[in-house]
A and B are shown apart, each in its own frame.
Chain A
Amino acid sequence: MSNKGNTRKRPPPTPHPAATPSPQMKHQAAMEEEELDEDIFLEETLLQYEEEDSQRRAFAERLAKWKRPALSTSYLSQSENIVFQQLEIDYVVGDSHKGLLPSSSAALLEWVLMISPVHQILEGRMREANRNNAVPKFVRRIELVQRRSIMHYQQQNSQPFLKIVVALPTMVTTCRGILDRGIQIDGLGMKSFMTYESNVLFALRFMIDCNIVGGNWIEVPHGKYKKTAENRSYCQLQFDCLHAPEGEFSKMAPFRILSFDIECAGRKGLFPEPSHDPVIQIANLVTLQGEDQPFVRNVMTLKSCSPIVGVDVMSFDTENEVLLAWKDFIREVDPDIIIGYNICKFDLPYLIQLPKESYLQLLGYTVTKKSFYLVHSYLGFVSHTFLLRPAMQRDHKLSSYSLNSVSAHFLNEQKEDVHHSIISDLQNGNSETRRRLAVYCLKDAYLPQRLLDKLMFVYNYVEMARVTGVPISFLLSRGQSIKVLSQLLRKAKQKNLVIPNVKQAGSEQGTYEGATGLNTKVAARALVLEARAGFYEKPIATLDFASLYPSIMMAYNLCYCTLVTPEDARKLNLPPECVNKTPSGEIFVKSNLQKEAKDPLVKAVLDGRQLALKISANSVYGFTGATIGQLPCLEISSSVTSYGRQMIEHTKKLVEDKFTVVGGYEHNAEVIYGDTDSVMVQFGVSSVEAAMNLGREAADFISGTFIKFEKVYYPYLLISKKRYAGLYWTNPTKFDKMDTKGIETVRRDNCLLVKNLGLTKTGDDYEVKAAHVELAERMRKRDAATAPNVGDRVPYVIIKAAKGAKPLLRIFEPILKNASKELLQGSHTRSISISTPSNSGIMKFAKKQLTCIGCKALISNSDHTLCSHCKGREAELYCKSVANVADLEELFGKLWTQCQECQGSLHQDVLCTRFSVVLSLLIASLRIGSLVLISAYLLSRDCPIFYRRKKAQKDMAEARFHVWLEMFIDEIEPKHSIGDRRQAVTDVFSEFFNISLKVFCR
């Protein structure tokens, strides 16, 4: 079986430039044929478009300074080793270079338990399946190898396996299908075969075979690579190579990271659409990994734009030119990593959907829909697109993932919120307003860069890639199981093990269940002790199990290869002292029997890089338990959970037996709750410190290794399983935080107000049927442009719950007996309404009168604001009212200066508002009161102070009014007539709201 196609990775040409690693297998494939694969895009329409007018040349000069440093000649003459850091891997099936005979062979292999005459049949079937493919020979080679399956304990060391090498990656699937279905072999009849490791992704396969992990350094010795004849790309180097040893580099290459953001003109009420709304600005920042400041800062604008300090502003007359300039820029700068916030959901699709599809064809970008990275065939580099938003969503639990709230959370920096409609206005203004927009755009581009640095995404992900051995893109776009699989495969390769291809989890699962005769699903997550719900006013000590699952796996030697099937157990007749029977009934051999058979993953976990390992260690458990995963083994996971449960119960027993009054302690200890990884104990002591001491004692007593004493909750509210809250103490003097799990306050579907109120007043809930969906729908009706998109978080408050939903009760029930009686019944729930007819009958005789500010009594003399009775309280009433003004003034000042801060300018008005909307809302809020408060909060979605700022402004206007009113008490200028007063009063209001105040002035 031959194979061909040269794997061509076009990795980042870092200053230590790039190469194209191709797999190097011990068996080298001969390559005779040429093949093109349809995965890859090699259109020939490339750079026809090189009409250089003078303008572009001038522009090119501008760009030139950002070019990468030229390569040394030694690279060009291929006399030097090439060292580079691998970021991304991809392959192209193309011509192999005859000049370098042993060079390219795709790593494609497959071991099949079968015998050799099968070759012919296989070849025939393959040909049928791939009729339209012009490959003369599909199955290159079949060879016999000695391997062992990872599943189940076996006494013999290895069995013969067949390794089939096929010509193209895509053929693996076909081949597997054929074998699964079974083939007719003379003398043996129809027989189907179990395939091993046939579902491994090609890129991963290659990396594993060559022992390359994600993000590692690769050295290509000179002479082994060759410059490609036809220059298909703008990549600085492109060649084939064959040698890929692992380098001992742990540093990070100085990647060029491009952060960009585009702005497009929008129309009122509509979300920008590529077919109508042009791209008006593109801001770019390029930073070398590891440096603080970007070395390129520029913004490309449609129409003129005033200069910005430290930023290269390039203005163009048409959208076309902007985009072309951007293309040139990217080509010149040649970034290794492209980042942006939400660029995959907005910016990139927007560029792709532009009506003149020419742009992106021109640019040559193709965004593969599923894997979020750009493959740029003409420009010839693979830039890894780092999507901050998905990464954020994966790694951090926030209540909102908008760029603003994310940056507020991590960087303590707010960004201005400029509404789509304002963007158009700014664009249509003069060069100054466009400059304003450009500044905003730049900030949008800069924040992702800051976030990337602050959260060390590059480091973390590269480390993770190194540990798990998968390319970085897998980390972003794929789940945990691929990482575990990669590690498993690597370890298995070292140990000569092969992993069976468990095709359909459902069916396989059935057989396992049948075989073991146990319902394995029971064990899945049943690791919780019954909770004794209630409110505990004494400190609760928490004993934690440190990395419970990996520890259990290690301790009891639970692994794929130590599992003994019941039949085998009977057959092999293992002595009972050599096996462990787990509480769930599975049998595993002990480690003395199977030397070196500890779970290889867990072993790897023990020595290595902290963060990455911790995450993957915990996922091992999930991997073995996932029924639709790559290699489920419920025996392992159920054993682990059952051991875990056993341990928790054991702990409970030990604690409750030891810490008793009989045993010399003050109180009887009581385990009130046990969760997956912790046990909550009430020792009965009332001080935090005493509880801590006892907790430590208990941890030492039980076992030093597994159990750690970590924290004390005091007070502690336990509602039910997995739902509890309490103040979290790690030192006896001061609590660290309020820790809440599973109850309303921690759920992110609550507004900040509710969260801050904490335990006592959690007033809204999510349970009401799809309230958020309803809300989103209404918002969409109101204004399509601000309506939430899929994945956005929408804050809301339920004012009126549906019948039967009583979220309050759920919270108070543990604390108050008869909660529903006390809370929801009684006089405080009664609302008394007195109807006041406004224009009928008796109201014709009613007239409005002034009341005293102090006591609400009617005043007949309209020149005063206080009744004769309250006259002596002037000073006191004035103090109160003026204190109110003072508070508001302070708030006003703080809020507006904060907004200036966010905006980053003292001399320009704060733009960050939806002025018209908010003004109308405030007018309305006077009429209907607090309802609008909620809407205003919704509109200002992310800026916590936005509403308060507006409110402060409004309150000021009102408060001033009061003070002035009081000033009239004294008749500083007694000549004021009633008419003047009314004027003065209405002035105050009409300036902000146009509402006449008939109530105050007759």
Chain B
Amino acid sequence: MAVAPREVDSGNVLQRKQSMYISLDESFEIRKEMYRGQQYSQIYFARLHLMRTLLYSLLPTWKPHLPSCTVLGLEEGKECIIVGTLYKHMKLKPSILDEYSKERSSSPLVKPHNFMHSDDYLVLEDESGRVKLRGSVLLPSVYVTGIVVALHGKETGAGDFMVEDILEAGLPPQIKLPLNSGEDKYVVFVSGLSVGSSSANPLHFQLFVDHITGHLGDEKEQGIAAQIVQVVIAGNSVEFPRGLLNGQNLGSKDQSRLSEPIKELDILLTQVAAGIPFDIMPGTNDPANFSLPQQPLHRCLFPGSAAYNTFRSCTNPHSFELDNVRFLGTSGQNIDDLAKYSDGKSKLEFLERTLRWRHIAPTAPNTLGCYPFTDRDPFFIENCPHVYFVGNQEKYETSLIEGSDGQVVRLICIPKFAETGIAVVLNLRNLECHALSFGTHFSS
């Protein structure tokens, strides 16, 4: 429950609105699990098991006349349906082996943005084996390793599988949301604050904080600010020189360089926390673990803001419910990785795909770091969120998609605040969305 601080302004008291917050992060918490020799096969197995049950339940409505079989059970020329995990064989995929096999001087210093190649092909794998996929229906450029799909086709003489049709899991079921009812309440998303980096302008962030806490603008603007019920900080809040973290002992100067950005962030967050409840998610550059799901940023980093009960340190991916509106989002690693290993028109398309594949991060663990879960796959999307956001993108983009069963999902790409000065505001009442742009201009 959020505390509603009072905004006192010339006798006219604006009351901050409140909303019901339920955290759904439990499945992303690692807690007592440990690295003790698990391998990644188990998470693939768990994923395949979950998804196969789901896909099998869809088969009667998709192609009831066709038998389903395993990769091993394929017979040449016989049409059937197979369900399995896709594996994309990529020519340009970087390999850790290159660190060893190539000479130091010959390795390229600049990493390419995209590892696609026209020779890439897909393979379908289940517990029993692998089969190479052919056919023009299935585009290697769209799919990535780790997705579970059902394929209709037949085995060719060469031992390949000629794909004729594909079934993806599709959008998960959604709890209906009575839209356009009740009052306007806003949720603010921001990501890539990058406090401490050269590109971040502290003034922008201060403006942002002042705006949402209602210290700026006239009464009307303050009225809108009072309707903000939640702030979500989607990753990369700080940035410090990576080199500092490797050395053993730091000089006192370096010690402060390391702690300075966090202190600065804490000061600003304390201002936010005093006014509005906020969630802070870890991102790639934050002082958190690397692999997904990233665990909450430690409270000891925020001695000031953590004292408030409006401060919530969350996992990445992060899921919560606000007045029955379900949110799901990440700090951007999953979508960035998809962009490296597949093609899409825009980042929104990747977002939509992950929803249809029912998996937040299909490329984990293959190209995206991931904890070796043994008995579950926390990235499986069981229930369709109403809002699906991703942080640290190049630009602000949003769209509303509708599923076949009437699901409505608001997709949001949150830009990097430090570079664009843009935060995103979502209206809980109708899921409408707009950008909040902060800029400074000095004319002398």
Does any Cβ of B come within 8 Å of A30's Cβ? Answer: no
Contact residues in A for B37 (Cβ distance below 8 Å): 953, 992
Q: Return the contact of B41 from the options A887, A909, A992 (Cβ within 8 A).
A: A909
Complexed CA–CA distance, A727 and B263 (Å): 46
Contact residues in A for B300 (Cβ distance below 8 Å): 874-875, 878, 966, 969-970
Closest 6 CB pairs of A and B: A310-B159, A883-B245, A886-B290, A956-B35, A944-B100, A893-B369
Q: Is the interface of A mostly helix, strand, loop or mixed?
A: helix
Contact residues in B for A900 (Cβ distance below 8 Å): 40-41, 366
Complexed CA–CA distance, A408 and B125 (Å): 24
Task: Given contact pairs A882-B288, A884-B245, A966-B300, enumerate 14 new A-B contacts (beta carbons under 8 Å).
Answer: A737-B106, A738-B105, A873-B259, A875-B259, A875-B262, A876-B250, A878-B300, A878-B301, A886-B290, A892-B291, A897-B366, A908-B127, A992-B36, A992-B37
Does any Cβ of B come within 8 Å of A889's Cβ? Answer: yes
Q: Are B101 and A409 in contact (CB under 8 A)?
A: yes
Query: Quick one: which of B28-86 are within 8 Å of A by CB?
Result: 32, 34-37, 39-41, 44-45, 48, 71-72, 74, 85
When C-beta atoms are compared, the residue in chain A nearest to B258 turns out to be A876
Does any Cβ of B come within 8 Å of A885's Cβ? Answer: yes
Does any Cβ of B come within 8 Å of A894's Cβ? Answer: yes
Q: Return the contact of B365 from the options A727, A878, A893, A991 (Cβ within 8 A).
A: A893
Q: Return the contact of B127 from the options A293, A882, A907, A960 (Cβ within 8 A).
A: A907
Q: How distant is B188 from chain A, measured CB to nearest CB, in Å?
A: 26
22 inter-chain pairs at a CB distance below 8 angstroms, sorted by A residue, are: A297-B159, A309-B71, A310-B131, A409-B101, A412-B95, A735-B105, A873-B255, A875-B301, A879-B301, A883-B246, A886-B290, A893-B368, A894-B369, A905-B41, A905-B125, A906-B366, A907-B48, A907-B125, A907-B126, A909-B41, A945-B100, A966-B298
Contact residues in B for A735 (Cβ distance below 8 Å): 105
Most chain A CB within a 10 A radius of its CB, from B258, B289, B301, B367 = B289
Complexed CA–CA distance, A400 and B420 (Å): 53
Q: Are A889 and B367 in contact (CB under 8 A)?
A: no
Hey, which bits of chain A sit against chain B, CB under 8 A? 293, 297, 306-311, 408-409, 412, 414, 727, 735-738, 752, 756, 758, 873-876, 878-880, 882-887, 889-890, 892-898, 900-901, 904-910, 944-945, 953, 956-957, 960, 963, 966-967, 969-970, 972, 987-988, 991-992
Q: Are A879 and B34 in contact (CB under 8 A)?
A: no
Q: Are A898 and B36 in contact (CB under 8 A)?
A: no
When C-beta atoms are compared, the residue in chain A nearest to B124 turns out to be A309
Complexed CA–CA distance, A403 and B34 (Å): 36
Known: A890-B290, A897-B365, A907-B125. A988 touches B34 (CB 8 A): yes
Q: How many A-B residue pairs have CB under 8 A?
A: 175
Q: Are A889 and B289 in contact (CB under 8 A)?
A: yes
Q: Are A945 and B97 in contact (CB under 8 A)?
A: yes
Q: Return the contact of B100 from the options A737, A752, A879, A884 (Cβ within 8 A).
A: A752
Complexed CA–CA distance, A908 and B130 (Å): 11
Q: How distant is A434 from chain B, measured CB to nearest CB, in Å?
A: 14
Known: A310-B131, A883-B287, A909-B41. A897 touches B367 (CB 8 A): yes
Q: How distant is A267 from chain B, measured CB to nearest CB, in Å?
A: 27
Q: Are A960 and B35 in contact (CB under 8 A)?
A: yes
Q: Are B159 and A893 in contact (CB under 8 A)?
A: no
Complexed CA–CA distance, A892 and B289 (Å): 12
Q: How distant is B294 from chain A, measured CB to nearest CB, in Å?
A: 9
Contact residues in A for B146 (Cβ distance below 8 Å): 906
Contact residues in B for A875 (Cβ distance below 8 Å): 259, 262-263, 300-301, 303
Complexed CA–CA distance, A953 and B36 (Å): 7
Does any Cβ of A come within 8 Å of B103's Cβ? Answer: yes
Q: Are A957 and B35 in contact (CB under 8 A)?
A: yes
Complexed CA–CA distance, A735 and B105 (Å): 8
Complexed CA–CA distance, A386 and B246 (Å): 51
Most chain A CB within a 10 A radius of its CB, from B96, B158, B290, B368 = B96
Contact residues in A for B290 (Cβ distance below 8 Å): 885-887, 889-890, 893
Contact residues in A for B40 (Cβ distance below 8 Å): 896-897, 900, 906
Q: How distant is A869 from chain B, measured CB to nearest CB, in Å?
A: 13
Q: Are A308 and B129 in contact (CB under 8 A)?
A: yes
Does any Cβ of A come within 8 Å of B299's Cβ? Answer: yes
When C-beta atoms are compared, the residue in chain A nearest to B299 turns out to be A970
When C-beta atoms are compared, the residue in chain B nearest to A735 turns out to be B105
Q: Return the contact of B72 from the options A306, A878, A885 (Cβ within 8 A).
A: A306
Contact residues in B for A972 (Cβ distance below 8 Å): 299
Q: How distant is B196 from chain A, measured CB to nearest CB, in Å?
A: 12
Complexed CA–CA distance, A737 and B104 (Å): 9
Q: How distant is B176 from chain A, measured CB to nearest CB, in Å?
A: 37
Contact residues in A for B209 (Cβ distance below 8 Å): none
- The count of residues in chain B whose C-beta lies closer than 8 Å to any C-beta of chain A is 66
Q: Are A311 and B97 in contact (CB under 8 A)?
A: no
Complexed CA–CA distance, A491 and B93 (Å): 53
Complexed CA–CA distance, A972 and B39 (Å): 30
Q: Return the contact of A898 from the options B95, B255, B287 (Cβ within 8 A).
A: B95
Most chain A CB within a 10 A radius of its CB, from B104, B255, B369, B371 = B369
Complexed CA–CA distance, A907 and B39 (Å): 10
Complexed CA–CA distance, A409 and B100 (Å): 11
Q: Are B125 and A987 in contact (CB under 8 A)?
A: no
Contact with A along B298-330 (1 / 0, CB 8 A): 111101000000000000000000000000000
Q: How distant is A726 from chain B, measured CB to nearest CB, in Å?
A: 12
Query: Quick one: which of B343-402 are within 8 Å of A by CB?
Result: 365-372
Q: Are A896 and B365 in contact (CB under 8 A)?
A: yes
Complexed CA–CA distance, A328 and B87 (Å): 37
Q: Are A889 and B369 in contact (CB under 8 A)?
A: yes
Does any Cβ of A come within 8 Å of B128's Cβ? Answer: yes
Complexed CA–CA distance, A890 and B291 (Å): 7
Q: How distant is B277 from chain A, measured CB to nearest CB, in Å?
A: 20
Q: Are B259 and A408 in contact (CB under 8 A)?
A: no
Q: Are B370 and A893 in contact (CB under 8 A)?
A: yes
Contact residues in B for A737 (Cβ distance below 8 Å): 103, 105-106
Q: Are B288 and A907 in contact (CB under 8 A)?
A: no
Q: How distant is A714 from chain B, measured CB to nearest CB, in Å?
A: 13
Q: Are A907 and B289 in contact (CB under 8 A)?
A: no
Contact with A along B227-264 (1 / 0, CB 8 A): 00000000000001010011000100001001100110
Contact residues in A for B263 (Cβ distance below 8 Å): 875
Contact residues in A for B155 (Cβ distance below 8 Å): 309
When C-beta atoms are compared, the residue in chain A nearest to B94 turns out to be A894
Q: Are B34 and A991 in contact (CB under 8 A)?
A: yes
Q: How distant is A887 from chain B, measured CB to nearest CB, in Å?
A: 7
Q: Are A414 and B97 in contact (CB under 8 A)?
A: yes
Most chain A CB within a 10 A radius of its CB, from B101, B298, B299, B371 = B298
Complexed CA–CA distance, A519 and B183 (Å): 109
Contact residues in B for A896 (Cβ distance below 8 Å): 39-40, 365, 372
When C-beta atoms are compared, the residue in chain A nearest to B245 turns out to be A883
Contact residues in A for B368 (Cβ distance below 8 Å): 893
Contact residues in A for B41 (Cβ distance below 8 Å): 900, 905-910
Contact residues in B for A897 (Cβ distance below 8 Å): 40, 365-367
Contact residues in B for A960 (Cβ distance below 8 Å): 34-35
Contact residues in A for B36 (Cβ distance below 8 Å): 957, 991-992
Q: How distant is B215 from chain A, measured CB to nearest CB, in Å?
A: 27
